[in-house]
Amino acid sequence: MKFADIVINRPIEGPFTYSIPESLEGTIKTGSVVEVSFGNKMVTGYVVGLSDKCDIERIKPISGIIDKNLNLEPEMLELTKWISKYYYSSWGEAISAAIPGVLKKSSKTRKSAREEKEIEFIDGSSERLTLNPDQKDALDSITRSMDEKIHRVFLLHGVTGSGKTEVYLQAIAHVLELGLSSIILVPEISLTPQTVARFKARFKEKIAVLHSRLLGSRRISEWNRISSGEAQIIIGARSAVFAPVKKLGLIVVDEEYETSYKQEDVPRYNARDVAIKRAEISKAVVILGSATPSLESFYAAKNGKYTLVELSERIDSRLLPTVDIVDMREEMTRAKKVPIFSQKLREWIEKDIREKKQVILFLNRRGFSTFVNCRKCGYVIKCKRCSVSLTYHFDKKKLVCHHCNFNMEPPQICPECNAAYLKYWGLGTEKVESELYRLFPGAVIARMDTDATQKRGTHDRVLSKFKDGNIDILIGTQMIAKGLDFPKVTLVGVISADTALNLPDYRSAERTFNLLTQVAGRAGRSDLGGRVIIQSYTPQHYSIQAAKTHDYNTFYDKEINLRKELNLPPFCHMVSLTLRGRKEERVFNASDNLRAAIEKEDKSKNIEILGPAPSPISKMKGMYRWNIFLRSESAENITPILKKVLDKNKSSGIIVTVDVDPN
Ligand SMILES: [Zn+2]
Ligand SMILES: [Zn+2]
């Protein structure tokens, strides 16, 4: 073979043909990672095909091979090709997303890569637990598929505390007996230390943990342990779906509805859906697990596309925590102000810390006050670069933009009218913390959000202090919503259930229900029992009512009917186009033109076009943003048309991003 077809990490499709120099003949294979000159730059290229003939004159040679041992398997090429088509990227961009950065550098530059300390995981138990009848049935139907070597997707739906992890562990043990490998995807490694610890304890040296802090040579050695077959169980976040395992038997996607499975950059893939595709290619089994499955997955399970297995009981028949909803409108009338804590929540916190039990409080907003305005003229202090109000941070004594990190000293007088009546509104975790200190002076209180855990090791330290019982009240954002399993937590308080509900997003009800259910699941994980108190200004909302009774099915029935009525996913696929630019008028004009071009190109009228309209945050980092939403029965109706239209309709100064199945 004298020539190689090569794709690169650029938004141009290719492939481009290069000649193979004599010195590399026989070394270069389909799947090799090479160095080529492109334009006048050296870039990393991926060999996707070889040939003997080439019609192009003046062909450039391949400059070198990055690593002789690094070779992409045919399955990986097929998978990345699918990703590039489905998620609208070039093949080279999709392959690039599948390989860790350090492996794409030549060995010279690799050495300079930073080394990082291992995450320390809390100890886990290695004991194999006895399954209850529910768990046993679930495991049996999963292992049967494995023995028959057929690709099947299982949706493991189980209430929090029903023992999903033990089913995963025993399914993996079965895969291991068959001589196959498993991949376990978790939303974020550092937020689920206890789950990871259980896997490590059970499978010891057979396991490889891939996480974002793994850099440099550690990342390379883990990659090698996986591709050599030494590590047969791989646990990691989103990108672990690309782990170079051979003989794949199982992929587990834990908390499959999680938004962190979606990659924010090109290619904007969803690791859950990539996992299903990869398993289909390798004839492997997939387990999607959750207490609150996404509407898409549950719908697929109800319609027989996936196999539904349910765990309806908690282990040891432990009761689900009691959930109380407090109507904050009544509290406001009674207190004649906007209270942070309802009387009920305050009394229960008091009682629990008196009895030396532990409390978790949840609020999904960081900072102290979430906006500042002038009482005289109404002026709201906003970010100069984004169309959002600035949040006051008490720790830093600064006003901060949560989108671009712009910050400033809080002004003493109104920048608009010079009045000295600036008022701080809204509620963040910092304010809840300071109010807790005031109300419960003797209690040990800790806060966990991205501000409080910026310093390395803080996160792990707080968790282990909490585990040892040295913290009475833990207040935090969604960082504490999932995965934590602390038996002494008997009370969980949700300071405001309404934060997600008010977002302009068709998934807001689903998000709210999921979050409340996950948070509630932190309470009552032992015989001490548990109670959850949810504060809300819209207590009658069905997502909040369903969370009260832990009733996924009722929530699902209500929500799926709404989705059907409004023709929203899972009844269609959406593609979101975002146009960005510094001149608002040009962004608008480009959006309008793009809409017209799509309309014209869509001859069979399969696509419904919504917009253009300004994005919910209409200006970010100095760029104006407009959206167009496209929907159709399948994403494959949309992407080929986009390909034609976007290539033809480029406007200078305008950046267009395409997001298929957006979050
Ligand atoms: Zn003013
Ligand atoms: Zn900003």
* Residues 225 and 285 reside in one and the same domain: yes
For residue 590, the enclosing domain spans: 573-660
**Can you give the pTM of this predicted structure?**
0.91
The DSSP bridge partners found for residue 49 are 5
* Tokens 């962004």 -> residue: 587
- Cα(286)–Cα(309) distance, integer angstroms: 12
Q: Give CA–CA dist 151/311, Å, rounded.
A: 22
Residue 120 lies in a domain: no
Amino acid of residue 244: P
Q: How far is CA 368 from each of CA 30, 428, 450, 471, 518, rounded to the nearest angstrom?
A: 55, 5, 13, 21, 24
- pLDDT, residue 111, reads 54
Spell out the long-range contacts of 602-609 with Cβ–Cβ below 8 A and sequence spacing 24 or more: 602/641, 606/632, 606/633, 606/637, 607/631, 607/632, 607/637, 607/638, 607/641, 608/567, 608/572, 608/632
Token output for 516:
């409340």
- Judge if 473 and 349 occupy the same domain: yes
Pick the ligand that lies closest to the CA of residue 420.
1
- The CA 144 to ligand 2 mean position distance, Å, reads 53
Tell me which residue of 18, 43, 94, 518 sits closest to 274, measured CA to CA. 94
Ligand lying nearest the CA atom of residue 422: 1
Looking at the DSSP bridge assignments, the partners of residue 249 are none
Ligand nearest 617 Cα, by number? 2
Instruction: Look at residues 497, 531, 562 and tell me which one is the last residue of a structural domain.
Output: 562
Which ligand is closest to the CA of 375, given by its number? 1
Query: What is the whole-number distance in angstroms between the Cα of residue 406 and the centre of ligand 2?
Result: 5
My answer on whether 139 and 215 are in the same domain is: yes
Same domain as 445, residue 303: no
Same domain, yes or no, for 504 and 644?
no
Q: Classify residue 567: in a domain, yes or no.
A: no
Pick the closest to residue 387 from 591, 657, 651, 626 (CA basis): 626
Residue 121: the pLDDT is 53
How many whole angstroms from 375 Cα to the centroid of ligand 1? 7
Q: Which amino acid is at 526?
A: S
| CA 371 / ligand 1 centre spacing (Å) | 14
pLDDT value of residue 529: 82
User: Which strands sit side by side in the sheet containing 391-393, from one edge to the other?
Assistant: 391-393, 398-400, 407-408
141: domain CATH number is 3.40.50.300
Question: Which among 599, 623, 629, 624 has a CA at the least distance from the CA of 611?
Answer: 629
| Measured distance CA(467)–CA(481) in Å, rounded | 16
Is 149 among the domain residues? yes
| Distance between CA atoms of residues 614 and 187, nearest Å | 30
* CA 315-320-321 angle, 5° bins: 135
Same domain, 244 and 391: no
Domain C-terminal end among 273, 290, 315: 315
> Residue 465 is which amino acid?
K
CA 389–ligand 2 middle distance (angstroms): 9
Rounded to the nearest angstrom, the distance between the alpha carbon of 416 and the centre of ligand 1 is 5
Q: What angle do CA 184, 191, 273 make, to 5 degrees?
A: 40
Which of the ligands is closest to the CA of residue 421?
Answer: 1
- pLDDT for 362 equals 94
Is residue 510 situated within a structural domain?
yes
Q: Are 524 and 578 contained in the same domain? A: no
User: Alpha-carbon distance 349 to 347, whole Å?
Assistant: 6
User: Final residue of a domain: which of 562, 587, 618?
Assistant: 562
Is residue 509 assigned to a domain? yes
Domain count, the chain: 5
- Residues 411 and 445 grouped into a single domain: no
Q: Is 15 contained in some domain?
A: yes
Identify the CA nearest to 547 among candidates 527, 560, 563, 533. 533
Q: Does any domain span residue 606?
A: yes
- Output the six-digit token pair for 423: 């008022």
For the stretch 635-644, pLDDT in tens is 999 999 999 9
Walk across the sheet containing 322-327 and list its strands. Answer: 322-327, 531-536, 489-494, 358-362, 473-476, 445-448
Task: For residues 462 and 500, state if they share a domain.
Answer: yes
CATH number where 593 lies:
3.30.70.600
Residue 42: CATH number of its domain: 3.40.1440.60
Distance 415 CA to ligand 1 centre (A): 7
Contacts of 11 (CB under 8 A, 6+ apart): 89, 90, 93, 266
Mark whether 71 and 157 lie in a shared domain. Answer: no
Task: List the end-to-end C-alpha distance of the chain, in Å, as a whole number.
Answer: 44
Ligand index nearest the alpha carbon of residue 402 = 2
- Nearest ligand for residue 386 CA: 2
Is 462 a domain residue?
Answer: yes
In this structure, are 398 and 342 located in the same domain?
A: no
Q: Residue 403 C-alpha to ligand 2 middle, in angstroms? A: 5
Distance from Cα 385 to the centre of ligand 2, integer Å: 5
For β-strands 391-393 and 398-400, DSSP reports them as: antiparallel
Q: Are 262 and 194 in contact (CB under 8 A)?
A: no
The ligand placed nearest to the CA atom of residue 378 is: 1
Residue ranges in the chain whose pLDDT is less than 50: 113, 115-116
- If asked whether residues 378 and 284 sit together in one domain, one would say no
